[in-house]
Amino acid sequence: MLRARTTGWVDLKRLLSDRRVDARRKSASRYTPRTPFAMTPFDFVAVAISIVLGLGITELLSSGVKLFLHRKEIEFDWIPFVWAVTIFITILQYWWVFYFLSDTVEIWTPLYFLFLICVLTCLYVAAALVFPDTAVDKSEGLKIAFESHGKWSVFSLGVYVFLVVFVNMIFYDTPFIPNSLVGILTWVLLVLAVIFPFISNRKTQVTITISWFIILLYNAWNNSGPY
């Protein structure tokens, strides 16, 4: 009888102890923040990439609105607008394709991160330079302003294409020397963009502008990578 009573008393103490532990856990859970998911390295990189790309789109849209507001004071030219649309499509294309790197890159390193930021910085510079600052160049025509500063946005776009070649080599294992039509057209885009600032002939500028836009649309439609 004594043994039975002792065992029962021990079981009662254990039961009370377990209830106290459960009560403490419930109380602690009330003050412990719960996160729905853990942030992966890709999520961290995607935030920074989205910020840079978003700033580029903001530059294009805000500059376009300013030009519209000063439309009676500025002489318009269609070439800068074509390049602005080209840059806008390029930003959206890269933004869309970047999502698929989550399945391509297994380990994200700081070097990968810095390299992608440098690539996207070229896109931002292109977006910031393509249109003039209406507060400064309001007295000039859009053609003169583009010849002075805007044409270097095309050069920045060419640097972007050059860096994207290495992005494709690193992340998509594409060869440096192109073996496909899309790869060859990518190098054509690179050459045209780099030589554009040094061309003063209007017809040649028009030819390069239209060719660049058409090739961009073709590559965007037929290629899963940035180019």
**pLDDT for the residue numbered 68:** 84
**pLDDT for the residue numbered 28:** 45
Measured between alpha carbons, how far is 123 from 95 in angstroms, rounded to an integer? 11
Tokens of 20: 């106290």
**pLDDT for the residue numbered 37:** 59
Three-state SS for 101-126 is: HHHHCCCCCHHHHHHHHHHHHHHHHH
pLDDT, block means (10 residues), the chain with 227 residues: 42 49 48 57 85 92 86 85 94 84 80 90 94 66 85 95 89 82 90 94 95 90 57
Cβ neighbours of residue 217 closer than 8 Å, sequence gap 6 or more: 89
**pLDDT for the residue numbered 36:** 56
**pLDDT for the residue numbered 38:** 67
**pLDDT for the residue numbered 139:** 60
Residue 42: in which H helix or E strand, if any? helix 41-69
What's the longest Cα–Cα distance across the chain? 111
Measured between alpha carbons, how far is 147 from 75 in angstroms, rounded to an integer? 13
Measured between alpha carbons, how far is 96 from 101 in angstroms, rounded to an integer? 10
Task: Specify the residue for token string 């160049």.
Answer: 137
**pLDDT for the residue numbered 17:** 53
End-to-end CA distance of the chain: 86
Residue 88: in which H helix or E strand, if any? helix 78-98
Cβ neighbours of residue 4 closer than 8 Å, sequence gap 6 or more: none
